[in-house]
Amino acid sequence: MDTQQAKERIDFLRSELHKHNYLYYVKAQPEITDYEFDKLLKELSELEKQFPQFYDPNSPTKRVGSDITKEFAQVKHEYPMISLANTYTEGELRDFDQRVKKILGEQPEYVCELKFDGVAISLKYIDGKLVQAVSRGDGVVGDDVTNNIRTIRPIPLTLHGNDYPKEFEIRGEIFMPHSVFESLNQEREEIGDAPFANPRNATAGTIKLLNSAEVARRKLDCYLYYLLGENLPYQNHYDNLQKAKEWGFKISEHIERKPNINGVFEYINHWEKLRKKLPYDTDGVVIKVNDYSQQNILGLTAKTPRWAIAYKYKPEQVSTELLSVDFQVGRTGAVTPVANLTPVKLGGTIVKRASLHNADQIALLDVRIGDFVYVEKGGEIIPKIVGVDQSKRSLFSKPISFPTTCPECGSKLEKPEGEARHFCPNQYNCPPQIKGRIEHFISRKALNIDGLGEETVALLYNNGLVNDVSDLYRITREQLLSLDRFAEKSADNAIQSIEKSKSVPFPRVLYGIGIRYVGETTAKGLAFHFGSIENLANASIDDLLNVEDVGERIASSIKDFFSNPINLKIIDNLKKAGLQLNLSENELQLKSDKLKGLTIVISGTFNRVSRDELKELIQQHGGKNVSSISASTSMLVAGDKMGPAKLEKANRLGIKIISEDDFFELINSAN
Ligand code: IVH
| DSSP 3-state of 297 | helix
Pocket test for ligand 1, best of 35, 38, 77, 84 (most atoms within 8 A of CB): 84
C-alpha radius of gyration, the chain, whole number: 29
The pLDDT assigned to 153 comes to 78
Ligand 1 centroid distance, CA of 225 (Å): 8
Ligand 1 centroid distance, CA of 163 (Å): 26
Please tell me the distance from the alpha carbon of residue 444 to that of residue 456, in angstroms, as a whole number.
16
Is residue 231 predicted with pLDDT exceeding 70? yes
Q: Assign 3-class secondary structure to 614-647.
A: HHHHHHHCCCEECCCCCCCCCEEEECECCCHHHH
> What would the pLDDT profile of 579-626 be if each residue is shown by its tens digit?
999 988 766 666 667 888 899 999 988 888 888 889 888 988 888 888
Distance of CA 340 to the CA centre of its chain: 27
Give yes or no for residue 112 CB within 6 A of ligand 1.
Answer: no
Lowest model confidence (mean pLDDT) among 131-140, 331-340, 353-362, 581-590: 581-590
**599-603 and 635-638 strand pairing:** parallel
The pLDDT assigned to 28 comes to 57
Catalytic residues: 115
Q: Which carries the bigger pLDDT value, residue 578 or residue 67?
A: 578
pLDDT level of residue 429 (50, 70, 90 thresholds): very high
Is residue 69 predicted with pLDDT exceeding 60? no
Ligand 1: which residue has its CA nearest to atom 13? 120
DSSP, res 428 = T
Mean pLDDT within 231-236: 96
Give yes or no for residue 286 CB within 6 A of ligand 1.
Answer: yes
Mean pLDDT within 514-532: 89
Identify the structural domains of the chain with CATH numbers, from first to last: 3-62 (1.10.287.610), 74-312 (3.30.470.30), 317-399 (2.40.50.140), 431-586 (1.10.150.20), 592-668 (3.40.50.10190)
DSSP, res 569 = H
CB 168 within 8 A of CB 232: yes
pLDDT level of residue 393 (50, 70, 90 thresholds): very high
Ligand 1 centroid distance, CA of 173 (Å): 7
Give yes or no for residue 408 CB within 6 A of ligand 1.
Answer: no
Please tell me the distance from the alpha carbon of residue 508 to that of residue 52, in angstroms, as a whole number.
62
The pLDDT assigned to 348 comes to 61
The pLDDT assigned to 71 comes to 65
- Give me the residues paired with residue 324 across strands: 340
> What would the pLDDT profile of 449-474 be if each residue is shown by its tens digit?
988 988 899 999 999 999 999 999 99
CB 111 within 8 A of CB 237: yes
The pLDDT assigned to 446 comes to 93
Is residue 654 predicted with pLDDT exceeding 90? no
The pLDDT assigned to 191 comes to 74
Residues 6 or more apart in contact with residue 444 via CB below 8 angstroms: 450
CA dihedral sign, ordered 46, 49, 52, 58: positive
Burial class of residue 166 in the structure, from the number of CB atoms within 10 Å of its CB (0-12 exposed, 13-18 middle, 19+ buried): exposed
pLDDT level of residue 134 (50, 70, 90 thresholds): very high
Amino acid at 257: R
The pLDDT assigned to 57 comes to 63
Ligand 1 centroid distance, CA of 611 (Å): 35
Give yes or no for residue 643 CB within 6 A of ligand 1.
Answer: no
Q: How many CA atoms are closer than 13 Å to the CA of 524, on its beta-carbon side?
A: 10
> What would the pLDDT profile of 623-637 be if each residue is shown by its tens digit?
888 888 888 899 999
Give yes or no for residue 113 CB within 6 A of ligand 1.
Answer: yes
Please tell me the distance from the alpha carbon of residue 397 to that of residue 367, in angstroms, as a whole number.
9
Ligand 1: which residue has its CA nearest to atom 21? 120
Is residue 190 predicted with pLDDT exceeding 80? no
pLDDT level of residue 70 (50, 70, 90 thresholds): very low
Give yes or no for residue 115 CB within 6 A of ligand 1.
Answer: yes
The pLDDT assigned to 381 comes to 57
Ligand 1 centroid distance, CA of 84 (Å): 6
- Give me the residues paired with residue 368 across strands: 399
- Give me the residues paired with residue 116 across strands: 282
C-alpha dist (Å) from residue 670 to 172, 593, 661: 51, 12, 16
> What would the pLDDT profile of 286-322 be if each residue is shown by its tens digit?
999 999 999 999 998 878 999 999 999 987 788 999 9
Please tell me the distance from the alpha carbon of residue 671 to that of residue 667, in angstroms, as a whole number.
9
Give yes or no for residue 226 CB within 6 A of ligand 1.
Answer: yes
The pLDDT assigned to 158 comes to 81
Global confidence as pTM: 0.58
Length of the chain: 671
Q: Work out the mean pLDDT of the chain and round it to a whole number.
A: 89
How many helices, marked H, and strands, marked E, lie in the chain?
25, 23
